[in-house]
Amino acid sequence: MPVLVMKFGGTSVANLDRIRRAAKRVGVEVAKGYDVIVIVSAMSGKTNELVGWVEETSPLFDAREYDAVVSSGENVTAGLMALTLQEMDVPARSWQGWQVPLKTTSTHSAARIVEIPTANVTQKFAEGMKVAVVAGFQGISPEGRITTLGRGGSDTTAVAFAAAFGAERCDIYTDVDGVYTTDPRICAKARKLDKIAFEEMLELASLGAKVLQTRSVELAMRFGVKLRVLSSFEEQSDEAGTLVCAEEDIMESNVVNGVAYSRDEAKLTLLSVADRPGIAATIFTTLSEAGVNVDMIVQNISEEGRTDMTFSCPTNEVTRAEAALDKIKTDGQLNYGQMIADTEVAKVSVVGIGMRSQSGVAAKMFKVLSGEGINIKVITTSEIKISVLIDRKYMELAVQALHDAFNLDKAA
């Protein structure tokens, strides 16, 4: 039998009624002849509740016990989904990560998948099981301890199972009906995409789009797993949602296919840093070791033998970055004149595989922002994206203006 993977996020299984609705969707696919692997998240809000209990119990918690607690939410959902399917006369069984087993590294709360042996689940399919309901987000370490994959890890679980079992497709059910050209809450003209290339989805996910976890898209691109993003709350057809697939599977595409944004960005500038080999390595090694996620980097010559170094990071990591850099300045490892932090910026990006073959996208983007009176603070580019840092108060205006300028409300 062909295998189909279906993943249901927290809002899709938030209560028993929604679990029944999801189970009916699974039943439809079983009736089509699929052996189905269902990956479930914890009920909406449950993981946050469990994390809160851990932090209240033990502020400096043992990561192994953290994983044991927070993974339990998915176990509850898996059992309830299996029971619901059984009530519908669909042969189903729940599986926790260790039972599959989904083998991971030993990095608790941020483990990476090493291997998913298929023998156990395949044997049960051969014996008549039609649905394997697997608890997402979790696995087992070489030491035999429960591990978790990080927030949003159920998406990664689903794609990994699709790759391991050679699934025909991996359907991700969520509270939106697909991938949009931008956030519909900001731009009323946002349009749902029928298809989007892996590379574009990866850029959008990493730049702030919340539809899919970045690691899940990376995994899908690596193994060629076709992803479909659908809504749990709307009637479905074979053409519903957005298909995330290889570039060659898309006939026509706009030059720019999406506008992404990240609201909680900060810009830090070190003024008058010594301009010599090894300084950048010292700065960014220090930030990495402090757990600061650096994104955009710009270096400018300021005076003879000196340079200014600017970088962006999430606003909630500014204090950590400042402390780390102050320490190496005090220790004499780094000499700079002043550190300036701007915590009122946002990142806005345009993304599209068509940018590889068409010039003028950057010029058009900058002209549009200039026309709206929006000053650009930092620019970075890749083959298929251009990102800028701007004042946060202009973020929504920038997104709307760029969406209009690149005619994203119209299909190619």
Give the tens place of pLDDT for each residue, 178-189.
889 998 889 999
Q: Which residue has the tokens 């400042």?
A: 322
Q: Is 185 annotated as a binding residue?
A: yes
Higher pLDDT, 358 or 40: 40
Q: Is 174 annotated as a binding residue?
A: yes
Of these ranges, 110-114, 277-281, 358-362, the one predicted with the greatest mean pLDDT is 110-114
Per-residue pLDDT, averaged over 122-139, amounts to: 97
Would you state the pLDDT for residue 238? Answer: 61
- Kind and range of the H or E run holding 396: helix 395-405
Please tell me whether the peptide bond between 277 and the residue prior to it is cis, using omega within 30 degrees of 0.
no
**Distance between CA atoms of 4 and 228, rounded to whole angstroms?**
11
Q: Name the least confident of 150-164, 222-236, 352-366.
A: 222-236
Q: Is the pLDDT of residue 74 over 90?
A: yes
Q: Is 9 annotated as a binding residue?
A: yes
Whether 90 is covered by a domain: the verdict is yes
Residues 160 and 24 in one domain: yes
Whether 180 is covered by a domain: the verdict is no
Residues 171 and 266 in one domain: no
Q: List, edge to edge, every strand of the sheet that includes 113-115.
A: 113-115, 103-104, 138-140, 146-148
The whole model's pTM is what?
Answer: 0.81
Angle at 16 between CA 32 and CA 52, to 5 degrees: 120
Which residues span the domain enclosing 317? 259-405
Residues 264 and 171 in one domain: no
Give percent above pLDDT 90 in the chain. 71
Whether 380 is covered by a domain: the verdict is yes
Residues 134 and 282 in one domain: no
Q: Is the pLDDT of residue 320 over 70?
A: yes
Would you state the pLDDT for residue 209? Answer: 65
Q: Is 74 annotated as a binding residue?
A: yes
Would you state the pLDDT for residue 300? Answer: 82
Asked whether 399 and 258 are in contact (CB, 8 A), the reply is no
Q: Is the pLDDT of residue 379 over 70?
A: yes
Residues 160 and 267 in one domain: no
Whether 86 is covered by a domain: the verdict is yes
Q: Is 47 annotated as a binding residue?
A: yes
Whether 48 is covered by a domain: the verdict is yes
Residue 138's CATH number: 3.40.1160.10
Per-residue pLDDT, averaged over 118-127, amounts to: 96
Final residue in a domain of this structure, among 115, 149, 175 = 175
Asked whether 108 and 27 are in contact (CB, 8 A), the reply is no
Q: Name the least confident of 157-161, 206-210, 275-279.
A: 206-210
CB atoms within 10 A of CB 394: 18
Q: Is 93 annotated as a binding residue?
A: no
Whether 217 is covered by a domain: the verdict is no
Whether 225 is covered by a domain: the verdict is no
Residues 46 and 139 in one domain: yes
Residues 9 and 146 in one domain: yes
Residues 274 and 155 in one domain: no
Check the CA dihedral 37-38-41-42 and report its sign.
negative
Per-residue pLDDT, averaged over 340-351, amounts to: 95
Whether 271 is covered by a domain: the verdict is yes
Total domains present in the chain: 2
Per-residue pLDDT, averaged over 233-243, amounts to: 75
Final residue in a domain of this structure, among 175, 196, 219 = 175
Final residue in a domain of this structure, among 175, 190, 208 = 175
Q: Is 211 annotated as a binding residue?
A: yes
**Distance between CA atoms of 174 and 74, rounded to whole angstroms?**
16
Q: Is the pLDDT of residue 211 over 80?
A: no
Query: What is the secondary structure of 319-334 as a DSSP string?
Result: HHHHHHHHHHHHTTS-
CB atoms within 10 A of CB 114: 13
Would you state the pLDDT for residue 335? Answer: 87
Residues 150 and 292 in one domain: no
Instruction: Supply the mean pLDDT for the chain.
Output: 92
Confidence of residue 412 (pLDDT cuts 50, 70, 90): low
Residue 329's CATH number: 3.30.2130.10
Give the tens place of pLDDT for each residue, 215-232.
899 999 999 999 999 888
CB atoms within 10 A of CB 276: 10
**Cα 362–chain centre separation:** 25
